[in-house]
Structure 1
Amino acid sequence: MNKSKLFFSLFFLLLSSHHHHLLLLRVVAIDDRLLAPSQSITVNQTLVSYGGVFELGFFSPSNSTIDHQPLYYLGIWYHNLPVRTIVWVANRDKPLKDSRGKLTFIKDSNLAVIDANGDILWSSRVNPSSLSNEINAVLLDSGNFVLQQNSTYIWQSFDMPTDTFLPNMLLRSNMKTGEAQRISSWMSFDNPAPGNFSFGIDPKNSLQIVIWQGSNTPHWRSHVWNGKSLSGTRETNATSQYVLKVAVDNNVISIMFSPTQGTALARYVLEPTGTLKMVVWNEPAKNWTLVWSRPSKPCDSYDVCGPSGYCDSSVLSFLPQCKCFPGFEPRDEEEWKVGNYSQGCVRRVALSCDNGDKFWKMERMKLPDRLTLLSNKSLMECQAECLTSCTCTAYAYSSVTGGGSSQRCLVWVDELMDLEHVSNGGEDLNVRLVASELVFTNSTELNNNEKKSRSLLVIVLPIVAGLILIFGCLCCFLWRRRMNIKRRKVAKKGVLFGDLSAKNEMEIPLLDYNTIMAATNNFAYVNKLGEGGFGPVYKGNLQGHEIAVKKLSKSSGQGYEEFKNEVELIARLQHTNLVRLLGWCMDEDEKLLIYEYLPNKSLDKFLFNTTKSASLNWRKRYQIIEGIAQGLLYLHRYSRLRIIHRDLKTSNILLDGALNPKISDFGLARIFGGNQTEANTKRVVGTYGYMSPEYAFDGVFSEKSDVFSFGVIVLEIVSGKRSTGFYANNNLLGYAWQLWEEGRGLQLLDNELGSSLCASEVMRCIQIGLLCIQENSADRPAMSAVISMLTNENITLPSPKQPAFAVGRHPDPESVNSASIASVESVNEVDKPLPLNKKTVHQNHKEQTNLSTSSGRKTNRTTDTIRK
C-alpha cells in the first residue's frame, strides 16, 4: 500500500476540562507582539499573538512553591478565556525559583529562560551556525511560538509539545529509525514536569496511535487505520468537525488535526492519569466540553483479556467480558472463572501447517496489535500469504480509499494481542483454525442441534401442543399484569433515571431483582457483611464475580432521593480511589445498590480493632491518606461534576484486597455548579465527629466541609483512635492540638506502629490534619494543596491555628437552650438527640455523637440556598 495516500479521520470524542490552577500575576502585554533580540519577557510581562488568540508568559501553578516562594514556568495559554488553560510549557523540569528570571536571547541568538544568576534553565537549542542577527520570535494565533529568520521558521514550540495537541500541530514518527515524537502528560495537575504517560504514533506500526505508561508499556491503543478513521466507529456530527490527516515525507509520517471552518476552539490533552481527551470550548457555558476520552470503558485497557482472548464491549457490562475464539479455551480455567484473564486463551488443537487449516471470520473486531502490512494484495493472495506461513494466526483484508484506492492486507503471527469485539464499526478478523476445529464449530454442532430439535418436535409436539399454548398464554397474562403493577408503582414516585437507558450518559445496568436474589442466595444471613443506618449489606456472586449488595431498609433515613442521587452520581465518576457502582435495582419497595466487592470492608474495621490495626503499618497508612486525598481532589476538581461528599468518614472508606482506599456512599453528596463555592441547607445530614462547624451549626457546606472531614480521618489514621473518644480530658481533635502545641506530636502515634517509620512524615501528616480542621473554613487548604503537601517534602507547611471543637468539656446543663440548634439528622449514626446550644457544642465536641437524631424523626425536605 502506498503510504503517501493515507488520510485518516480521527474521532477522539470527549467532554471534560483540563484546568490548571495558577497563581494570578499582574502582567503587562508587549505592544508590538514580536520579541526582538534586544527585548526580554520578565515574570510580569506577556506576549500576545497577533489575533489575540494565545498568550505567552510566566505562570505559577497553585501550591508550587519552595520555601514559600512560588515556582515559575514559561508557558502558552489561551488569551481571552475566563479559565487559564496551559497548552505548552518550556522549562518543565527546571522552574524559576524566584521572580527575577526572564525569557531572552542569549549570545548565540537562541531563546533561553535564565534565572537571576544567569544560569540557563531552558533554550531553543538551534545550531548557532545557522543563526544570524536578523532573527526574532513571534507567537502565532495557532499557539505556535516560533523563532524566525528572514520569515523562515528555524525553531518552533510545536516541535517540542508538552501535554496538549493543538490544531495544525504535526506529530511525527520516523518509520525507518523508529523514533517517534510524543506528547507527555504533566506529573500532576499542579506540576508540569513530564509525567508517567505519553501519546503518539506507534513507531513499530504507523497505522495506529498509542498511549504508553512509562517508556514503552502500552496503556491504550487505537483501532488500526481502516482508510477512514482510527476510532473503529462511524463519524458523528461532532467528530466530523475535527479531521485528523496524515502526510508522508520520505520515511517520516505525521498526523495533524484541524477543525472545519467556524468550529469552536478544540484541543487534545493527555492528563496525568493517562486519559487522552478531546475538548472543545463551550462559549455559552464558558467551559471546556468533553467530546471523547480513552481509556474510559472496561475493554479500553491494553490487552485486558490476555493473549488470544478478546473483550466483548458489545455486551453492556460493568466488568470486562472476556471470551475465547472458537477452537480456543482459557489457558488457566480456574483463574479465568475468578476474573483473572491475564493468561489469555490457547488453542485446543495445534495448527496443522499442511494447507489443511481454515479461517473463522469474527465480525466487528478491533484488530490485534503487532500487525504486518502487505501492500497491494488481493483477498485470495492475502489469505494465501497467511496459509503459507505456519506462524501466521490471522489475517484481515479491506479496500482502502482516500486519495485513490488500494488493497490492504494485514497478517498476524503467533499470539493475538489486545482484541475487542465492538457493537458498532470494527473490521472482520479471520482467525486461523485447524480444519477439524472449524468443522466442529461451524457445522457439527449445528447439525446435531437440528437433528435433536426435529426429533423432539416430532415426538413431543402432538402430545403437549395444547398444554404449551394454554400455559404460555397464562404466563404472558400474569407477567404483563405484574409489569403493569410495577410500572404504576414506580410512576407514582416519578420515572427513575429515565436517562439511564442512554449509553452516552451512563452505563450502570438496571438488574433484575430475582437475579440479585439468586446472587446473594436469597439474602442469606451467612452472606451478610454488615449493617448500617441505611440497611444491611450482603456478599453475592454475579456472573462469576463477587459483589456487595446494599439493601436500603424501609426504616433508613436514606429514601428514594438518596438512592437516586447515589446512582446518578457514581455512574459519572471513574477514579481508582472511588468505589465502583456495578448496578442498581428497584422492585416495588425494594431499593438495591450493587457495588464491587472489597474484601477488607471499611477502614474503621482496621483502625479501631486492636487485632487488625497491626496489619496497617505506617507506609500503608500513608498510602491510604494519600489515596483518600486523591479521590477527594477528583470529586472537587477533576470529575465531570464538582461533588461535595458531605459524609466522609472512616466507615465510608472501603479497602480492597491490597488495602487501597476507595471512597463510598454518595447518597448525601451534592453537585456544585461551575461558579458555586458553597450552599446551605435547612436539613443537616451527615455524621458528627466528622462534620465541620459551619455545616453543623449553620447548614453551610462547601469543599472545605469535606476538607475538615478529611483532616479528622488523617488524625484517626495516625492515632488509631476515634475522633469522638476521650483522651486526656479532651476529644481527639483537642488532644492532637494539645500535643502539637507542646511539641509532643509524636505521642499521638498509634502504639501498634512501633518504631519502624519516618518521624518527619508522621509529623507532616499531623500538621496537615490540623490545618484541615481549623475552625475558619477559609484557613483550611484546598485538596490540591493537601496533595502537594503530602507528595512534596520541599514545601514548607504553614502553622495551624487552633482547630474547631478543641476546648475541654465544661458544659452547664442548666444553660442549654434546645431551640437554638437547627434540625439535625444523621442518616448513618442513630443516637438520641441531646439539646445543646451553639456555644456549648463548640466547647464540647466530646458530646458530638449524641447530637444525632433518630432516623425515624421527621424532618423538612432539604432546601439548598446557593451562595456564589
Structure 2
Amino acid sequence: MGPAVAFFLVLASAAAAPLLSATAQDSGNYSAAEPSTVWTNNKDYFNDYRCHGIVLRVAVPNSNSDVYTEAGFYCASSVPPCDEFLFAVSIGNAGTTQTSRSGDQDIATIVDTRQIVWSANRDHPVRENATLEFTADGNLVLRDADGSQVWASNSSGRSVAGMVIKDVGNLVLFDHRNATVWQSFDHPTDTLVLQQSLVEGTRLTSNTSATNSTGNTFYLTVLPHALYAFIQSTPPQSYFIALMGQNKTTDYPTKVTFKNGRLTTPVNSTEPYISSDITFQTSASTQFMRLESDGHLRLYGWSGDRWAGLDDVMKFMLNDCDYPTVCGEYGVCTEGQCGCPVVENHSSSSYFKPVDEQKPNLGCAPITSISCQEIQHHQLLTLPNTSYFDDSHTAVNATSIDDFKQACLKNCSCMAVSFRYNWNAPHGECLWVTKVFSLKSVQPDIGYNSSAYIKVQLSPSNENKTKVQPDPSNENKTKVMLGATLGAVTALVLVVIVVGLYLQRRRKHEEKDEEFDFDQLPGIPTRYSFEKLSECTEGFSKKLGEGGFGSVFEGKLGENKVAVKRLEGARQGKKEFLAEVETIGSIEHINLVRLIGFCVKKSERLLVYEYMSRGSLDRWIYYRNNNAPLDWCTRRRIILGIAKGLCYLHEDCRQKIAHLDIKPQNILLDDNFNAKVADFGLCKLIDRDQSKVVTMMRGTPGYLAPEWLTSRITEKVDVYSFGVVIMEILSGRKNIDNSQPEESVQLINLLREKAQNNQLIDLIDKNSDDMVSHQEEVVQMMKLAIWCLQHDSIQRPSMSIVIKVLEGAISIQTFDANSLMFVQENPSTYSVPSQTSILSGPR
C-alpha cells in the first residue's frame, strides 16, 4: 500500500485518552498491553479530515533512526471519506516535514510517510466501531462493527501475559517468561522488514494495487533449496528463482532472512551464514522490502525525511520483459515496448486486439473467445523468436514439437505451448501453459531456437482463409452426386424428424415430475446457467475430487476461483441438491463453506462453492501427499474451527441442523489452515421442540454414532463424529486403517484400550516433534474426544460446551473408558450404502 493514513488510541503516551484503558508498561524500546483490554475504532475520539477510527497506537522510535513503529487501525483507502480499515503495523512518521521550492520561497509541508508492513485483515477490511479485543485468555480478536469475527491470533490458552510492538515492526504476544507465543513476523503479508525471515511454507503475497490491500496473484515463497516468485495460475508459474540453502546440512525448514543489505539463508541457528546470498547496495539504516503489485521485489530505505526506492532485488536475474504482467495477458514485450502477437502471414488484428489502445501495457485479448464446446475450431498460431518467462516446469522432452502441439489442441485447458531447442542438447523442451501472461521477443541465436504457439478460436472468416477453393472441373460431378443422394437424404430427414418429435414428447413427459421451481426457495443464492459454469470450468476439465454424489471441478467467475460440484444422476441427487441449496443458501458463518450459487438444467444439478486452496483435512493428516506434519497450534485451531461451525448449525440457526456426515474429507482448509465445514447433502433439519427425529441411516462408516442403529437421532450424532475426527487429527491416522496390525485397525477401540491403561501418549502423532513436545495438551484434547464419544448421547457435551472447553472457560469432564462403545470388527453392521459421499464438497 501507499503511505498509511491512521489515527490511534494511545497506549504509552499522554497524547490521548483510551476508550478502555490498558496498562502501559515501559520495557526498553517498546510498550506493553495486558490482556482483558478492548479498543474501539470510533471517530468520536479523534478529529481529522483524512480519516477516523483508531484502535491502538504504540509509537516506538526505531533504534537506528527517527522512524517510528506503530500498530493500529489504518484507512484501507487513500480517498476520503474513509469507511474501511485495516488493523496493521506501520513504520514511518506521521508528521514528517518536507520542504519544496516555489519561486524564491521554501514551502514546508507536513507529510505522512507511514508505510504498512503487516496487516491482519488485508482481505476483509472492517468498518467504524470495529473492535480489537485482547481477551483474558490471551487471544487477540478483531471483530467488525456487527460483532462478526474477522481475524484472531488463535493464541488463547497459551499463558499469554502481554502484547508489544517491537521497534523493528514486529507485533508480539509473550508469556510470563517473556517468550514469544505469537508474532506478526510469522504471518507476513506483502512486506519483509529488517530481521524478519520468510520460512519454507510461508509466502509474501502482493497487494492488488497501491490503493487496494487485498491479495494479488504474485507471491514469493521459500522451497527447500531456493527462493521462488510465482504468479498464480493452474499450476502456478515461476518467474524468479534464486538458489538459497542448497548447502544446508539439516532437516530444518529453509528460511531466508532480511539482513541489512542482503537476503541470506543460514544453514541452521548455530552455524554461520552461507555464501548464497542476494546482496544489494544500501546505506539506509531502516529498510523494508515489498513484493509489489507488478511482481517486482523492491527495497526501500529511510533517507532522512522520506522513504526512497533503493533497489530492485530481482534485477540481477530479470530484465523488464521478464515479468509476467509487464505487457498484460497475451502481450509481447520487445525491448521494453508492448504489442499484440504478430502471426506469420497474417495480420495480428485477425486474432488479437489491445485491451486499451492508449495503454498497450494492459495486454491483448483474443477477438474470438476460446470455447471448449467448439474444440474442433481451435488452432495454434506460431510466434517465432518468442519465449515465455516460466522455464521451471519442463512438461516433456521432445525431439519434435508436432505431437505435443496436437496434444494441446485436444485439451481445452492448454492455452499455449512454448518450445525451446538447443542444437547442443539431445532434446528440445516443451512447456504447456494453461493461462497466457506476457511473452517476450528474443533475438535469433546460432544453435538456439525459441518459439511460442498460441491457441486461438477460429471464427468463420478465419476458417475460410485456410480452406482450399474448389476445382471448377469437379462442379458437374458434385451436382450429379448431390442430385442422386437428395431423395435419400430427404427421406432420412423426415424419419429423423418424426422420431425426434416422438422422443422429445416422451422426454418432456418423463421430466415433468423431475423439474421443480428453484426460484421459490427462500434466501436462494445466485442461479447460473449451465453454459456459464461449463465455460468457467473450461468444460469441466480441472477435476479436484470426486465422491458418491458427483465430482468437483475448479473454476473461475470473474477474478475469483470457485469450486463447482456436479451431481451425477438427477434422481439420485435431487434430495441432496435441495438440502444443500436450501440449507447453505440461508446461512453464513466463517467456519462453514459458503455456497455462492447453483445451476439446474433438466437432469443437470450443480453447486458453486467458495474455493478452499488447501483442500480437505484428510490430505494433511493422513500424509498421502508428502505434506509436512501440522504443528500442534494448527491442529488445535482446526479443531476449534470445526467446533464453531457445528455449534452454529446446532444452536444458532432457526432450526437445528444436523450435518450427519462429519469426517476429514468434509472439512476444508483455506490458505491459513482455517477450517470450514462442507457438504450438506445428508443434513437433517430438527425443530427446536423436537428431542429426536426418526430418519433413515446415512453417513460414512467409522463415524456413525451408536444410536443410528435405532434410527432415532439428535444433533449429538455430529458430536460423536467430531470426537472421531479429533482423534484422527491428533494421531495422524485413519479411524479404520487396515494397514495397521489387527489389534490396531479400529482407532476408537485402541483409544478405549489406551485410556484404560493410562497410555494415551502412545496415540500422539509421532511424525510431528511439535505434537510430542505438547503431549500434555494433546492428552487433554484426547480426553475431550472421549467425552464426545460417549455411548450414551445424553452424556456427550453440546458443541457450545466443547468450544468453552477449547477456549479454557470450563474443564473437561472425565469418563471411564468403558463408556466408549466397542466397535465391531465388521463396521458395515452399522454403516450405510456405498453411494454415500467419500470425497465431497469443494477442493
Smaller-chain TM-score range? 0.3 to 0.5
TM-score by length of 2: 0.43
Higher relative contact order (CA 8 A, sep 6+): 1
